[in-house]
Chains A and B, each alone.
Chain A
Amino acid sequence: MMKRVFLGLLVAVVVAGCSSVKLDDVPVEDKSASAVPAQPGGAPTTQSQVAPVAAENTTGTAQGPVNVARLIYFDYDSYIIKPEFQSLIEAHARFLKASKSRHVALEGHTDERGGSEYNLALGQRRAEAVRRALALLGVPDAQMEAVSFGKERPAVQGSGEEVWAKNRRVEIVYR
């Protein structure tokens, strides 16, 4: 008797999910049971089941200095801040030093060429170049975070040098 129960359990374990059994074996079925529940939680389970999740987004940017641009553009494969952006960076530095409670995200971006992860690292390098420039002007590190979107958030869709030049950038985003 015990032996038979044990054997039954063994077969049940083997049959669970989508494991195969030899053709001679009869699948264990619960003849008293009603239909298989469609939702997970009830046995038997569907091995291919994927539970969907919806992510909630963080959005919105707070106000920074008035009438000051928030975009710094870069040459291909470069993270050198060109002289023409120096006054823009100085304006943000003044604002941040005067408003110690304000925080800023420096969001690095690349053009579409190349791999996602390597571009993420290149965008990070651009964001950190801007962070260093602001730090040199006296902005405390605690007020800044350098992050990267790599090539995932182009400002302009499409291809070609004109488009790419607009996408190689750091955005200064106030939180």
Chain B
Amino acid sequence: MKTPAQWRRRQMVGLIGAAAALPAWAQFRVEVTGVGLTQLPIAIAPFRGEDTAPQKPAAIVQADLERSGQFRAIDPAGAALDETSRPDLTPWRQKGADSLASGSVTQLADGRWDVRFRLWDVVRGQDLGGQSYAVTTGDLRLAAHRIADFIYEKLTGEKGVFSTRIAYVTKQGSRYNLWVADADGENAQSALASNAPIISPAWSHSGTQIAYVSFESRKPVVYVHEVASGRRRLIANFRGSNSAPAWSPDDRTLAVTLSRDGGSQLYTISAQGGEPHRLTQSSGIDTEPTYAPDGQHIYFVSDRGGAPQIYRMPIGGGAPERVTFNGTYNISPALSPDGRWLAYISRISGAFKLQVMDLAGGTVNSITDTTADERPSFAPNSRLLVYATRQNGREALMTTTLDGKIKARLAGQGGDIREPAWGPFQR
């Protein structure tokens, strides 16, 4: 059992280490709170040949696992191993490691890299398997994240999300950028640069396209943007405002908010574009639609009862059923891919707080100590959320476990950072 002081010291050391090794702004940093956490001790030996590679897989794998809050790194000092070694596990056992990973990086004749690793159960002396990945230089980090996913799943039984991507928006002066970054915040690449605001990015379930709202034509308009090619198409540019895109589970349809017939109302529209089909008929605001993973319901925000609350209705439209009952301002619904959880933002005594509702039991937990939380988005394994908030007067993105105990922060790069969307598992 650790005292809070010990935790703090450990974090300080960790932060200094991270700052020395990597650009200070680029990475999600862990802030572990709560007690009784068990962390699995693991040693990641330097990969043979990684000195010549532009990315060091061992460090990336170790940082991924540590950031989950569920692993503690054991110093592999002086180890010279690869995936073909059959290591003597006794010294590792003495160091307190439960597991050991070793591997190699080799450049192929065509310029790609062959990344290989093997995982050992140190306690039982068992080979837990390995993988190899032949990747371009641009995918070396992806290969390392996939290794971290493999280790995470083998040792915790849960699917890892290290190889997934997160989209978000930054604002620096009057410059807006839509970024696509690795789930650790590194390797951020700009998908769209604009002098006008960008909001509400939403990943297609295929992980290849992002729908978003851009104000570049001096009004909100919905685009669908193919990330790898940069090809984008206008989906909704009707009279009035066009916003809040959400993908149907089969990626064929988008639910959007349009004001073309007066008021903000929900419509569906083909992902190829075309004529919208009206879903709601209210005199108030209906917005922020999101499809339930079962494909049967759309959750959305409506002030039809006098104040914004979250409702649910059949996907084709029809009688809505109210879902939130606490307070007078509940917005931005997000459903976990496993269908168990609803995350949303609630205004409580003037503060905007991330809430997580257990949909089966209806119990609600407030899981942050910040006061300007916005726009939660679930990781594809349903175990983590990303959301936007303010810390020390600055915008930041946070990831959190659903119980709020393990959080990591991605700070803006000298500007504001907002509107996160966690992408799906990648094939």
Is A bound to B? yes
Residue from B109, B132, B257, B426 within 8 A of A29 (CB atoms): B109
Residue from A29, A36, A55 within 8 A of B214 (CB atoms): A55
Interface contact B331-A36, CB-CB below 8 Å:
no
B139 interface residue (CB < 8 Å to A): yes
A63 interface residue (CB < 8 Å to B): no
Please name all residues of chain B whose beta carbon is closer than 8 Å to the beta carbon of A29 when the two chains form the complex: 108-110, 112, 134
Give chain B nearest CB distance to A104 CB in angstroms: 12
Give chain A nearest CB distance to B47 CB in angstroms: 14
Interface contact A54-B194, CB-CB below 8 Å:
yes
Give chain B nearest CB distance to A120 CB in angstroms: 5
From A21, A36, A117, name the one whose CB has the most chain B CB atoms within 10 angstroms.
A117
A66 interface residue (CB < 8 Å to B): no
Please name all residues of chain A whose beta carbon is closer than 8 Å to the beta carbon of B332 when the two chains form the complex: 115, 117-118
Please name all residues of chain B whose beta carbon is closer than 8 Å to the beta carbon of A91 when the two chains form the complex: none
Known: A19-B427, A27-B114, A46-B136. A116 touches B375 (CB 8 A): yes
How far, in angstroms, from A44 to B142 measured CA to CA in the complex?
A: 15
Interface contact B352-A114, CB-CB below 8 Å:
yes
Give chain A nearest CB distance to B167 CB in angstroms: 10
Give chain A nearest CB distance to B298 CB in angstroms: 15
Give chain B nearest CB distance to A25 CB in angstroms: 7
How far, in angstroms, from A15 to B115 measured CA to CA in the complex?
A: 12
Interface contact A31-B109, CB-CB below 8 Å:
yes
* Nearest A residue to B259, CB-CB: A124
Q: Mark A64-83, 1 if CB is under 8 A from B, else 0.
A: 00000000000000000000
A51 interface residue (CB < 8 Å to B): yes
B196 interface residue (CB < 8 Å to A): yes
Q: Mark A114-152, 1 if CB is under 8 A from B, else 0.
A: 111110111011001000000000000000011111101
How far, in angstroms, from A113 to B345 measured CA to CA in the complex?
A: 12
Q: Mark B77-120, 1 if CB is under 8 A from A, else 0.
A: 00000010000000000000000000000001111101010100
Known: A18-B133, A33-B109, A58-B218. A124 touches B142 (CB 8 A): no
Please name all residues of chain B whose beta carbon is closer than 8 Å to the beta carbon of A147 when the two chains form the complex: 218-220, 240-241, 259
Interface contact B287-A118, CB-CB below 8 Å:
yes
Interface contact B132-A46, CB-CB below 8 Å:
no
Residue from A15, A44, A52, A148 within 8 A of B230 (CB atoms): A52
A50 interface residue (CB < 8 Å to B): yes
* Nearest B residue to A125, CB-CB: B285
B243 interface residue (CB < 8 Å to A): yes
Interface contact B131-A124, CB-CB below 8 Å:
no
A87 interface residue (CB < 8 Å to B): no
Interface contact A23-B118, CB-CB below 8 Å:
yes
Residue from B200, B219, B259, B263 within 8 A of A116 (CB atoms): B200
Please name all residues of chain A whose beta carbon is closer than 8 Å to the beta carbon of B189 when the two chains form the complex: 48-50, 52
The size of the chain B interface, using a CB distance under 8 A, is: 80
Interface contact A117-B216, CB-CB below 8 Å:
no
Interface contact B218-A118, CB-CB below 8 Å:
no
Please name all residues of chain B whose beta carbon is closer than 8 Å to the beta carbon of A146 when the two chains form the complex: 240, 259
B195 interface residue (CB < 8 Å to A): yes
A162 interface residue (CB < 8 Å to B): no
- B120-155 residues at the A interface, CB under 8 angstroms: 130-139, 141-143, 146, 150
Please name all residues of chain A whose beta carbon is closer than 8 Å to the beta carbon of B228 when the two chains form the complex: 40, 49-51
Interface contact A117-B133, CB-CB below 8 Å:
no
Interface SS of chain A: helix, strand, loop or mixed?
loop
Residue from B136, B138, B220 within 8 A of A148 (CB atoms): B220
Residue from B133, B191, B217, B374 within 8 A of A115 (CB atoms): B374
A56 interface residue (CB < 8 Å to B): yes
Known: A23-B116, A52-B193, A128-B263. A18 touches B143 (CB 8 A): yes
The size of the chain A interface, using a CB distance under 8 A, is: 58
* Nearest A residue to B225, CB-CB: A53
Residue from B146, B345, B374 within 8 A of A18 (CB atoms): B146
Please name all residues of chain A whose beta carbon is closer than 8 Å to the beta carbon of B227 when the two chains form the complex: 50-51
From B194, B259, B301, name the one whose CB has the most chain A CB atoms within 10 angstroms.
B259
How far, in angstroms, from A114 to B371 measured CA to CA in the complex?
A: 10
How far, in angstroms, from A121 to B243 measured CA to CA in the complex?
A: 9
Interface contact B347-A114, CB-CB below 8 Å:
yes
A35 interface residue (CB < 8 Å to B): yes
Interface contact A47-B220, CB-CB below 8 Å:
no
Known: A46-B138, A51-B227, A120-B241. A114 touches B130 (CB 8 A): no
A22 interface residue (CB < 8 Å to B): yes
A–B complex contacts, Cβ < 8 Å, 15 sampled = A18-B139, A50-B227, A50-B228, A52-B189, A55-B196, A115-B352, A116-B418, A116-B419, A120-B213, A124-B264, A125-B263, A128-B263, A149-B215, A152-B197, A152-B215
A-B residue pairs, 8 tightest by C-beta: A51-B230, A46-B138, A27-B134, A50-B189, A35-B111, A55-B194, A152-B197, A36-B111
Residues of A within 8 A of B (CB): 15, 17-23, 25, 27-31, 33-36, 40, 44-59, 105, 107, 113-118, 120-122, 124-125, 128, 145-150, 152-153, 173
Residues of B within 8 A of A (CB): 83, 108-112, 114, 116, 118, 130-139, 141-143, 146, 150, 165, 180, 182, 187, 189-197, 199-200, 213-220, 225, 227-230, 232, 239-241, 243-244, 257, 259, 262-264, 285, 287-288, 301, 308, 329, 331-332, 345, 347, 352, 374-375, 418-419, 426-427
Q: A40-B228, A52-B189, A147-B240 are in contact. List 5 more A-B contacts (CB 8 A).
A: A19-B133, A20-B150, A23-B118, A36-B112, A49-B138
